[in-house]
Amino acid sequence: PLVTTGELVAAAAAAHSAVAAFNVVTLEHVEAVVAGAESADAPVVLQVSENAVKFRLGRLHPLARAAVAVAERAAVPVGLHLDHVQTDDLLRQAADAGFSSVMYDAARLPYAENLAATRAAADWARAQGLWIEAELGQVGGKNGAPPLDAHAPGARTDPAEARAFVADSGVDALAVAVGSTHAMTTRTAALDHDLIKRLSAALDVPLVLHGSSGVPDDELTAAVTGGITKVNIGTALNIALTGAVREYLDAHPQAVDARKYLGVGREAMAREVARTVRLLGRATS
């Protein structure tokens, strides 16, 4: 069934565990995430990013309606989350399109501007009954930007600043910069586990890890142990999809039926989802 992201995150927090949230771009992504979560018998979050909406010709509703339809028939609880929203226009479409939660991303702005924009978004979200996540620090690697040096001074989230940011903005969860970077195609990120623990101790809202595709399995479970409650994964699904499609087309150069290669791509994504969800299911703090 379709449930709220807020209740999935709260349940994960109560269990000292984490919920996996996967970015979806096509209907095949949606079907694969739900099938993978069903085979692991675990709840999951479907995320649609502002960049995905741009790819869908600027329209949110077609992919959102597909996600709602698949989630409603799922054998496991599925949340629907609007991810990395930078424009008020998209933010205002969230509730109507069936989303229970949004991530408002003003992390590129200086602290005071990030706080002011996030507080306005949080006020609006609360009035709509939406759960809202925001970001402080710079996870980097967004929108095809060159990977940020995640170890550069100023890139990491400061615990005292994060505490003030959450109190002053009123957000429900915080995305933190702890060493991961978006869009990594190798699992080579080294996380700052001491910082995760300090952030977890300083904040009374759930912590969200972005750029999780680049994080090795043992680092990911350690991050959950340290206090990460929502794990965002996008690129790993596209690696699985593209690898399977490429292999199929290489082996079948005469193939024309889209169902054949999209089918193997969807299966590869579902296997990756099930693997990750099972891994997170074994991790507790």
Active site residues: 83
Beta partners for residue 132, in sequence order: 102
Which amino acid belongs to residue 165?
F
Residue 156 binding target from Zn ion, ligand G3H, none, CB below 5 to 8 Å by type: none
Task: Classify residue 146 by its DSSP letter.
Answer: P
Smallest separation, CB 198 to Zn ion (Å) = 21
51 near ligand G3H, judged by CB under 6 A:
no
Q: Smaller CB distance to Zn ion: residue 130 or 245?
A: 130
Q: Smaller CB distance to Zn ion: residue 38 or 105?
A: 105
93-96-102-104 Cα dihedral, nearest 10 degrees? 20
Helix (H, G, I), strand (E, B) or coil at 131: strand
198 near Zn ion, judged by CB under 5 A:
no
Contact letters for ligand G3H, residues 170-189 (x by CB under 6 A): ------------xxx-----
Contact letters for ligand G3H, residues 198-217 (x by CB under 6 A): ------------xxxxx---
23 near ligand G3H, judged by CB under 6 A:
yes
Contact letters for ligand G3H, residues 218-257 (x by CB under 6 A): --------------xxxxx---------------------
> Whole-angstrom Cα distance, residue 101 to residue 198?
26
Q: By C-alpha distance, which of 129, 155, 281 is closest to 210?
A: 155
Q: By C-alpha distance, which of 98, 105, 146, 99 is closest to 122?
A: 105
Smallest separation, CB 47 to ligand G3H (Å) = 6
From the list 210, 213, 226, 240, which residue makes contact with Zn ion (rule: CB under 5 A)? Answer: 210
In total, the chain counts a number of residues equal to 285
Q: Smaller CB distance to ligand G3H: residue 187 or 260?
A: 187
Smallest separation, CB 213 to ligand G3H (Å) = 3
| Alpha-carbon separation of residue 91 from 99, 174, 284 (angstroms) | 10, 17, 33
> Which residue has tokens 């949606």?
30
> Whole-angstrom Cα distance, residue 24 to residue 241?
12
Helix (H, G, I), strand (E, B) or coil at 54: helix
Q: Smaller CB distance to ligand G3H: residue 22 or 165?
A: 22
Query: Residues in the site for Zn ion, rule: CB under 5 A?
Result: 210
Q: Which residues bind ligand G3H (CB under 6 A)?
A: 23, 83-84, 182-184, 210-214, 232-236
